[in-house]
């Protein structure tokens, strides 16, 4: 069978500390000839330094600290192949403090191989890893009872562990467990049948991996295309770059844009310069449609008769990863597909007793605990249940104070918006405050949009109403009829000012990111808006050109763009700005904090 038609099985190895996971993977790679000669020579030298014979665990323990301590810290990915199937292995740490690494490895796996030390039997980490694998949609687990040589290859010890595991996981519905006794160091029942365990009549570990069924992990029958960015190289082309996370995309297929609800048909599906007849999950491509759709980063194209849920409130299973406990109604940043949202946990329904898998009443979650929670976001999510789609049904939570990833979540269901009659807590609701227009002006590449987005996120976290108006984004829709003459530039500023004024009157903090090179046009907007803060986002032209985030300066230097602000068209700096932020001298966080402080001082 041609190599490109081979099935692909992704699996992870997990278990408690020192169960032999790295050794087992090393043995699998060694016995299937999945190790390059130079890798093998390196492992041999490292083994000799430790005074050992060939130590196969060092094949996956790639970090120096791992080799020194003989433990796994990071997730190590390795690859091998058989005539009918390809394999990607994720070797995850056994320590409880690295549970987040286990979650990472399990999130894309089809199968879990959980090792159990024959001397120790079923441990807390065995149960925790089994539950996390099950929670992440893995329904097939191979229980590899390792180190059988240390119990004299005793059949009764193996049988007792198998019975204990079945009893411990009987509450996990639809879980299918397979068992195999091993001695990974010597290779017994790894790739070849063991002569020292004649009582075992089942397949070897490799035999199981070769024949175990692979299920479609995408789940949803509908089409999901998550937009990463909109590509506009010229006025006639509009493409949507992103990833197909469910279903198939082909020219002529009807789609609906979410959340705008616009319907259209796909006209092209392209990978680089190649047009494709169809693509399927999880390919990343550029698609075009008959109509110009109102979509941006984080939006989706979907099947019209099976769209994702649009909701600001979901029930989700949460794996808490932080040493700081969960705080109800505290602000968290949420990363979902390609979107960043602010949100809060408004309720903890229960947490799981990892010993019994029973539900326990709780109001918080501690490190490595798992629970069912209610999550609310400031903007609607476009999501599916995790059991229907792993990508659109999962998210991570980030502590905005230190940027630490505190939790991984799997959506169980979406729920309608909460009303005060529900009797739930009203903490974390949007605060009432006056509107302000914060106008960030400066050269292209100075950092206006980046600062505006950062300030907006901080304001939303604090429960305030905020909106970014990016001039580049508005030129694609509201101001797409305008060119770059002085008159058109002034009209661009005037229109943005009208929109900002309307939002400001409605109590929104508006963050405008616009070069707006003409001082008179900016002053006119200032006079029309009651509460206005002008921020000069300053950086030398050489710095902006070195950053060149959109590649515009390179096009100017090649003569492809004329009349570019700062090069062959003037930029008139503010004479008396309310705030000046020198981004070449300050970090992004400091710059964001400066603007945020000016806003909060005005609000107070």
- Show the CA angle centred on residue 489, arms to residues 486 and 491, nearest 5°: 110
Which residue ranges form the domains of the chain, and what is each CATH number?
3-211 (3.40.50.300), 224-302 (2.40.30.10), 310-422 (2.40.30.10), 436-603 (3.40.50.300)
Give the model's confidence band at 47: pLDDT under 50 very low, under 70 low, under 90 confident, else very high.
low
pLDDT of 426: 37
pLDDT at 147 over 90: yes
Q: Is residue 288 very low, low, confident or very high in pLDDT (cuts 50, 70, 90)?
A: very high
Reduce the secondary structure of 326-382 to three states and give it as a string: CCCCCCEEEEECCEEEEEEEEEEEEEEECCCCEEECCCCCCCCCEEEEEEEEEEEEE
pLDDT (tens digit, 9 = 90+) per residue, 463-485? 788 889 988 888 877 778 888 88
What pLDDT shows up at residue 260?
86
Which residues have C-beta within 8 Å of that of residue 113, sequence separation ≥ 6? 11, 12, 13, 14, 24, 141, 142, 144, 205
Name the more confident of 46 and 592.
592
Q: What is the tens place of the pLDDT at every residue in 151-169?
A: 999 999 999 999 999 999 9
pLDDT at 59: 65
- The catalytic site residues sit at 516
Q: In whole numbers, what is the pLDDT of the chain averaged over residues?
A: 85
Average pLDDT over residues 58-68: 49
Mean pLDDT of 441-465: 86
**Each residue's pLDDT tens digit, 190-202:** 999 999 999 999 9
Query: Which has the minimum average pLDDT: 99-103, 120-124, 370-374?
Result: 99-103
**What 3-state DSSP class applies to 53?**
coil
Query: Which of helix, strand or coil describes residue 191?
Result: coil
Please provide the distance, in angstroms rounded to a whole number, between the alpha carbons at the two ends of the chain: 71
Per-residue pLDDT at 415: 67
pLDDT in tens, 339-355: 888 888 989 999 999 88
**pLDDT the model gives residue 63:** 39
In sequence order, the 6+-apart residues with CB closer than 8 A to the CB of 82 are: 32, 206, 210
What pLDDT, on a 0 to 100 scale, did the predictor assign at position 567? 86
pLDDT digits (tens, 9 = 90+) for 376-435: 887 889 999 998 888 899 999 988 877 888 999 999 998 654 433 343 333 344 556 889
- Phi and psi at 450, nearest 5°, equal -65, -45
Residues of the chain above pLDDT 70, percent: 88
Judge whether residue 533 has pLDDT over 90: yes
pLDDT at 4 over 60: no
102-106, 432-436, 447-451, 473-477, range with greatest mean pLDDT: 447-451
Question: What pLDDT, in 10s, does the model give residues 201-254?
Answer: 999 999 999 999 887 554 556 899 999 988 888 778 889 999 999 999 999 999
pLDDT band at residue 556 under the 50/70/90 scheme: confident
pLDDT for residue 439 is more than 70: yes
Measured CA to CA in angstroms, residue 355 lies from 168, 214, 289, 394, 548 at distances of 8, 29, 52, 25, 55
């Amino acid at each position: 069978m041609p190599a490109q038609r081979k099935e692909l099985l992704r699996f992870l190895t997990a278990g408690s500390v020192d169960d032999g996971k790295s050794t087992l993977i090393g043995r699998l790679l060694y016995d299937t000839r999945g190790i390059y000669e130079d890798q093998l020579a390196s492992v041999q030298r490292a083994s000799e330094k430790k005074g050992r014979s060939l130590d196969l665990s060092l094949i996956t323990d790639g970090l120096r600290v791992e080799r020194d301590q003989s433990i796994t810290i990071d997730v190590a990915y390795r690859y091998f192949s058989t005539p009918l199937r390809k394999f990607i292995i994720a070797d995850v740490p056994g320590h409880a403090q690295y549970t987040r690494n286990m979650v990472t490895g399990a999130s894309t796996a089809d199968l879990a191989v959980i090792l159990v030390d024959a001397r120790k039997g079923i441990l807390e980490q065995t149960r925790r890893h089994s539950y996390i694998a099950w929670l992440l949609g893995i329904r097939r687990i191979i229980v590899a009872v390792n180190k059988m040589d240390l119990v004299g290859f005793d059949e009764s010890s193996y049988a007792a562990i198998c019975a204990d595991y079945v009893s411990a996981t009987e509450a996990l519905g639809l879980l299918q467990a397979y068992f195999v006794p091993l001695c990974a160091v010597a290779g017994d029942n790894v790739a070849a049948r063991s002569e020292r365990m004649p009582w075992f009549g089942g397949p070897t570990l490799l035999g199981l991996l070769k024949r175990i069924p692979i299920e479609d992990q995408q789940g949803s029958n509908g089409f999901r295309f998550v937009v990463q960015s909109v590509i506009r190289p010229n006025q006639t082309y509009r493409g949507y770059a992103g990833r197909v996370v469910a279903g198939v995309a082909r020219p002529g297929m009807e789609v609906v844009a979410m959340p705008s609800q616009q319907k259209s048909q796909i006209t092209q599906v392209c990978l680089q310069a190649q047009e494709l007849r169809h693509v399927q999950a999880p390919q990343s491509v550029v698609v075009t449609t008959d109509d110009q759709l109102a979509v941006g980063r984080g939006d989706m194209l979907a099947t019209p008769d099976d769209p994702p849920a649009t909701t600001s409130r979901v029930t989700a299973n949460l794996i808490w990863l932080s040493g700081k406990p969960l705080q109800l109604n505290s602000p968290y940043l949420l990363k979902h597909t390609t979107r960043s949202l602010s949100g809060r946990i408004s309720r903890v329904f229960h947490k799981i007793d990892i010993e019994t898998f029973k539900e326990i009443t709780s109001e918080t979650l501690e490190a490595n605990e798992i629970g069912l929670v209610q999550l609310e976001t400031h903007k609607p999510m476009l999501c599916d249940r995790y059991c229907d789609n792993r990508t659109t049904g999962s998210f991570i939570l980030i502590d905005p104070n230190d940027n630490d990833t505190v939790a991984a979540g799997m959506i169980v269901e979406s729920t309608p918006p909460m009303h005060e009659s529900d009797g739930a807590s009203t903490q974390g609701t949007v605060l009432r405050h006056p509107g302000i227009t914060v106008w960030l002006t400066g050269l292209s590449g100075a950092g206006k949009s980046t600062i505006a987005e950062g300030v907006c996120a901080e304001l939303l976290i604090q429960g305030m109403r905020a909106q970014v108006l990016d001039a580049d984004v508005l030129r694609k829709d509201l101001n797409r009829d305008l060119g770059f003459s002085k008159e058109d530039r002034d009209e661009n500023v005037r229109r943005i000012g009208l929109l900002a004024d309307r939002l400001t009157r409605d109590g929104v903090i508006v963050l405008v990111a616009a070069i707006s090179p003409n001082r008179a046009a900016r002053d006119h907007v200032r006079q029309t808006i009651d509460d206005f803060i002008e921020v000069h986002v300053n950086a030398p032209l050489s710095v902006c050109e070195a950053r060149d985030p959109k590649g515009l300066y390179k096009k100017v230097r090649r003569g492809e763009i004329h009349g570019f602000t700062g090069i062959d068209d003037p930029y008139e700096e503010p004479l008396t700005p309310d705030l000046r932020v020198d981004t070449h001298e300050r970090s992004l966080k400091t710059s964001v904090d400066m603007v945020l402080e000016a806003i909060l001082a005005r609000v107070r």
